[in-house]
Structure 1
Amino acid sequence: MNLHELELKSWDLRRDVVDIIMAGGGGHIGGDMSVLNTLLVLYKNHLRITPETTADPNRDRFVLSKGHAVEALYAVLADCGFLDLNDIKARFSKFGSPYIGHPNNKLNGIEMNSGSLGHGLPVCVGMALAGKMDKKDYRVYTVMGDGELAEGSVWEGAMAASNYKLDNLCAVVDRNRLQISGCTEDVMKQDSQEQRWAAFGWNVISVDGDSIEAMDAAFTAAKHHKGQPTVIIANTTKGYGSALMENKADWHHHLPNEEEYKQILADFAARKEVVQNG
């Protein structure tokens, strides 16, 4: 899809995410909003997989390591034809439903159950290494939250990826600087992310993660880089799209009331109108 089409679609999908959360009575709305553009660009323009090729051994792989942002993943998967949006809204977080609050690999298009933070990157290292050993040309992607990077398993995976020169691996850090307990720099200091990943032997791309154009260019650059794994530091805004939510830790998993719901949708509509009018 061209970038203008993606920009317009992103605002529609943000509404879908909020509707999923409202229907299920809970979710992680702040992180959904910061990661949605990353997922949209990845699935529409870069990830080589379709609803019909989820069993193809040469498909690209994606793992949402920050699994609590599953509502954004559900919305993107539905838009790409893997899942049915109406079914998600009807059954999200209901007893016995497969649409649970973290990725469930019983659903089409989801590689693995995730949400136990720190697991996504190490698993993806194994997937990427297997691809190299089997002489496959698939790529492996994962998206992590920045709060997740306090997990030691992330850095064990980072060392292994660099050691084996896994240039078929691309990790994204959703760097919104907020986690459930507050600012990441107060909980566990992380700056400079760029210097840390470079010290672990990774190719580092740092971009405005709220920008669809910047994320599209970053994924393209990652595909062309050889000899190292690539990490994209996506500098994002938690709650992106509505001033009611933006940069507020309280919106990590806040459920909007009816008044807040209307305001959020109005903010999305206004942002979409700006894109439409050029």
Structure 2
Amino acid sequence: MAITAIAYYAALLEGGIIPEAELETYGSDDSRLPMSGMATYTPGMEMSGGSLGQGLSIAVGMALGLRQKQSKAWVYNSMSDGELDEGSTWEAAMSAAHYGLSNLINLVDVNKQQADGDSRKILGFEPLQDKWAAFGWYVQRVDGNDLPAVMAAFDNAKSYSGNQPRVILCDTLMGKGCRSSKPAIKTILFASMPTNGKKRSRCWTLTNRKECCNEPESTPFKNVGDDRLDC
């Protein structure tokens, strides 16, 4: 579990497994909550997700194992568009189609952002629908910020009768609904932990501010200097 680890940590909090105060250590040295969760010391983590691109390979193995056991369980894998840079991702995609893993649903967060900048400029990945279809997957593409649309895509993937793995491409805007004069804050919140206490506190509480709303979807993301944390 790599990029989605931060959501997993929220689930750990809701489940009473970690205290809320521990969230403040996210991404810090010696924290149990690194940006990419680690099976060796992150609570409840059964696999390590970094370096990126390993998740889909592990999901393929799990799907194969479940089928061998004649289990009707589904395997869900969540990954970022940045992981499309990794060759192992496409090896896994080929393997899943080759073995007809219809019990595998892969969710790709197409947010077009990596820690180093715009994913499309680092390594272009479009046309994604055509690529996944060419690899033998059943493909859907939805607005990832529209939860009902995402849930409907999952229902459709599970009801689809074809002998193919399923992929749901979710076009998302990070921090959608948040009005800020420094859009890059939304990227850096997930890429690193600011060291300045005041800046860190203000960034962590950004999403709880009442004025944090109604940002135009066309707002661009840009890489800027350290002043980007002046939120």
TM-score strictly above 0.5: yes
Structure 2 equivalent of residue 104 of structure 1: 38
Structure 2 equivalent of residue 264 of structure 1: 207
245-254 or 201-210, larger mean C-alpha shift: 245-254
* Count of paired positions: 205
Question: Where do 5+ consecutive residues of structure 1 fail to align?
Answer: 1-63, 272-278
Q: Paired residue for 2:171, among 219, 235, 240?
A: 235
Structure 1 residues 71 and 263: CA distance shift in structure 2, 3 A: closer
Q: What is the Cα deviation at residue 222 of structure 1?
A: 1.5
Tell me, yes or no, if the aligned pair for 1:175 and 1:235 is still in contact at 8 Å: yes
Tell me, yes or no, if the aligned pair for 2:144 and 2:172 is still in contact at 8 Å: yes
Q: Distance in 2 between matches of 1:93 and 1:182?
A: 19
- Give the 4+ runs in structure 1 shifted more than 4 A: 90-97, 106-109, 245-252, 258-263, 267-271
Q: Distance in 2 between matches of 1:104 and 1:268?
A: 36
Name the larger-Rg structure: 2
Matched, 1:253 2:191: yes
Tell me, yes or no, if the aligned pair for 1:167 and 1:229 is still in contact at 8 Å: yes
Matched, 1:167 2:102: yes
Tell me, yes or no, if the aligned pair for 1:242 and 1:267 is still in contact at 8 Å: no
Question: Where do 5+ consecutive residues of structure 2 fail to align?
Answer: 215-231
Counterpart residue type for residue 106 of structure 2 = A
User: Larger relative CO (CA 8 A, sep 6+): 1 or 2?
Assistant: 1
Structure 1 residues 72 and 246: CA distance shift in structure 2, 3 A: farther
Root mean square deviation of aligned Cα: 2.7
Q: Distance in 1 between matches of 2:131 and 2:211?
A: 35
Q: Distance in 2 between matches of 1:268 and 1:162?
A: 46
Deviation per residue, 1:160-195 (Å, 9 max, x gap): 100111011011111001112221221111111111
TM-score normalised to structure 2 length: 0.77
90-99 or 218-227, larger mean C-alpha shift: 90-99
TM-score normalised to structure 1 length: 0.65
Percent pairwise identity: 34
Counterpart residue type for residue 111 of structure 1 = E
More helix per residue: 1 or 2?
Answer: 1
Q: What is the Cα deviation at residue 269 of structure 1?
A: 7.1
